[in-house]
Amino acid sequence: MKGFGKINPTSGKLVPSILLFALPIALGTLLQTLFNACDLIVVRMSADSTAVASVGATGTVTTLFVSSMVGIATGVNIVLARLVGAREIARAKRFISTAIISALGLGVIVAVFGVVFGDDVLRLMNCPEDCFEGARTYIIVYVISAPFILLYNFAAAIIRVSGDSVRPMFYLIYAGVANVTLNLVLCWCLRDKVLAVALATVIAQAFGAVLCMRRLMRTDGDCNFSLHNISFDFSLCGLLFRYGIPGAITNATFAISNLLVQGAINSFGSSVVAGNAASNNIETAVSCITTGITSATSVFIGQNIGAKQPERVKKTLLWGIVLNCSLNFVAGIAVFLARNPLIMLFVGDDAVAMASANARMNVVLRFYVVYSFRNIIKSSVGGFGYSRLTLVESLISIILFRIVWMSFVYPLNPCIEMAYVTYLISACVGILVSGPMLLSVAHRYFKKGISPKI
C-alpha cells in the first residue's frame, strides 16, 4: 500500500476530496457488513433455521454493542481533527496515546458486563425459547471481542484524521476475509455452528485491531503512536469521553429503542426473526454510503474550524447534505427493486421469513433518503462540536418516540407492519428536531464566529 496519497481536508478541491475520503470508509463498511452477513449465510448452509434465528435474535444486542463502540470513536474524530487542524501536534500525540489506553480499558469493562448480563438482555427481548441457548452462546462469545472492536475503531479514526481513509478499508477487508475463512473452517470442525461463527468473529476483530495498531506504530507524522512515549493524560481522556459518550449514547439509542421493537418482532416466532435479520443486514449494506459521507463531513468540518476556514466549512456542510441524500436515494431504490433474491440468500424459501423481510423493506429502503437526511444533519451538528445536542435529538426522536409508539400505538394493531413503521416515523421526528439544531449551530458559527473550544 505504499504510495497512497493522504487527503488534506483543509485544502484542494472539496467535492472530489470528500468523495475520495468517504469512498474507502463506505466500501470498508459495506465489506464488513457483507462479511458479518456471512455468519447468517454460513449458519443457514450448515444448520437449520433455529440456528439462523439464534444469530438473528442477537442482532439488536450486537448492534447496540458495536454502535456504542463506534459512537465513542466519534470523540476521537472530533477532538483529534480539531487539534490537528489547529496544529497542536504535541497535544495531539498525547491524545492518541490516551485514546489507545482508554480503548483497551473500556473494552475489558464492556466485555465483563456483557458476559454477566447477556442472559438478562435476551430475556428482556423475549428471545424465542427454541433459539435461546444458541443466542446466549453467540452473544457471550461476541462481547469478548469488545477490546478489539474499540481498539480497531479508535485506531482507524486516528488513521483517518491523518488523511488516510484507505488503509482502514484494507484492514477491514483482511479481517473480513479471515472471518469468512474461519466461519467455514470452524463450522466444519465444530458441532455447534453458532459457537463457530461467534469465535470466527472474535478472532477476525482481533486481527483487524492488530493491523491498525501496526500502522499507527510504523507511520511518521502528526498521528504516530509509540510505545516508548506512551502516556495517559486525564484532561485529554475527559475530552475524549466528553465528545465520545454523547456519540455512544446517540448510537446506542437506536439499538436500545430497538429492544422494544425486537421484543415485538420476536413474539411472532423464529421465522419472522430470521426475516427481520435478513432485511437488517441488507439495509446495513446500503447505510455504508451514509457512514462514509457523514464521517468525511464531520472530519472536514472539524479540521476546517480548527484551521479557521469558515467558507470551506459552509461548502463542506452543503455538499455533505447533497451527496449523502442523492446517493442514498439511488441506492435505496435500487436495492429495494432487487430485494427478493437478496433475501433468499439468508432465509432460503421460508415464505414467512420472506414476508417479514419484505414488510420491513417497504418502510425502510423505499424511503431511505429520509434516514440519510436525518443522519447527515445530526452528524454535522456533531462535527461543529455540539455532540450533546445530537444526544438530545436521539433521546427525543428515538427513545421517547419509540417508547410511546410501542407502548400506546402498536397495541392498537399489533401486527409486524406496525412494528416496522416506527423506524420511518421516528426518522421524520428526528429531522424536525435536528433541523433547527443545525440552523442554530450554523448561525452561531457563521454569523457570530462561535464554536466549542477544545
pLDDT band, very low/low/confident/very high, at 211 (cuts 50, 70, 90): very high
Instruction: Give me the pLDDT at residue 1, please.
Output: 47
Instruction: Give the residue-averaged pLDDT of 226-248.
Output: 87
Count the Cβ atoms, other than its own, within 10 Å of residue 443.
11
Note the pTM of the prediction, 2 decimals. 0.74
| 312 vs 166 pLDDT, higher one | 312
Query: Any idea which residue has 459518550 for its cell?
Result: 245
Instruction: Give the residue-averaged pLDDT of 123-151.
Output: 82
Q: For the chain, give me the number of helices (H) and strands (E)? A: 18, 0
Q: Could you report the per-residue pLDDT of 164-208, keeping only the tens digit for each?
A: 888 888 888 888 888 888 888 888 888 888 888 888 888 988 999
Instruction: Give me the pLDDT at residue 47, please.
Output: 63
Q: What gap in Å lies between CA 129 and CA 120, rounded to an integer?
A: 14
Instruction: Give me the pLDDT at residue 2, please.
Output: 46
Instruction: Give me the pLDDT at residue 60, please.
Output: 65
| CA dihedral sign, ordered 194, 198, 200, 201 | positive
Judged against a pLDDT cut of 90, whether residue 306 lies above it is answered with no
Reference 273, options 16, 22, 49, 23; nearest CA is 49
Answer whether residue 385 is part of any domain.
yes
Judged against a pLDDT cut of 90, whether residue 74 lies above it is answered with no
Domain, as residue range, for 220? 25-448
- State the total domains in the chain: 1
Average pLDDT, the chain: 85
Return the DSSP state at 164: -
| 134 vs 167 pLDDT, higher one | 167
Lowest mean pLDDT among 215-219, 251-255, 288-292, 385-389: 251-255
pLDDT band, very low/low/confident/very high, at 103 (cuts 50, 70, 90): very high
Answer whether residue 6 is part of any domain.
no
Judged against a pLDDT cut of 80, whether residue 269 lies above it is answered with yes
Answer whether residue 20 is part of any domain.
no
pLDDT band, very low/low/confident/very high, at 3 (cuts 50, 70, 90): very low
Instruction: Give me the pLDDT at residue 266, please.
Output: 81
3-class DSSP assignment, residue 54: helix
Rank 64-73, 123-132, 151-160, 278-287 by mean pLDDT and report only the highest: 151-160
Contact 295, 77 (CB under 8 A): yes
> 276 burial class (0-12, 13-18, 19+ CB within 10 angstroms)?
buried
Judged against a pLDDT cut of 80, whether residue 400 lies above it is answered with yes
Answer whether residue 454 is part of any domain.
no
Q: Which residues contact 152 (CB under 8 A, 6 or more apart)?
A: 171, 205, 208, 209, 212
Count of positions (residues) in the chain: 454
Instruction: Give the residue-averaged pLDDT of 428-434.
Output: 94
Rank 20-29, 81-90, 261-270, 330-339 by mean pLDDT and report only the highest: 330-339
Provide the CA 160 distance to its chain's centre, in angstroms.
16
Lowest mean pLDDT among 1-10, 61-70, 74-83, 183-192: 1-10
CA distances from 215 to 142, 160, 201 (A): 25, 12, 22
Taking the CA atoms of the chain, what radius of gyration do you get in angstroms? 21
3-class DSSP assignment, residue 265: helix
Ramachandran angles phi, psi of 8, nearest 5°: -100, 110
Judged against a pLDDT cut of 50, whether residue 427 lies above it is answered with yes
Q: What gap in Å lies between CA 186 and CA 325, rounded to an integer?
A: 41
Judged against a pLDDT cut of 70, whether residue 411 lies above it is answered with yes
Instruction: Give me the pLDDT at residue 300, please.
Output: 92
CA distances from 406 to 120, 359, 412, 422 (A): 21, 17, 10, 8
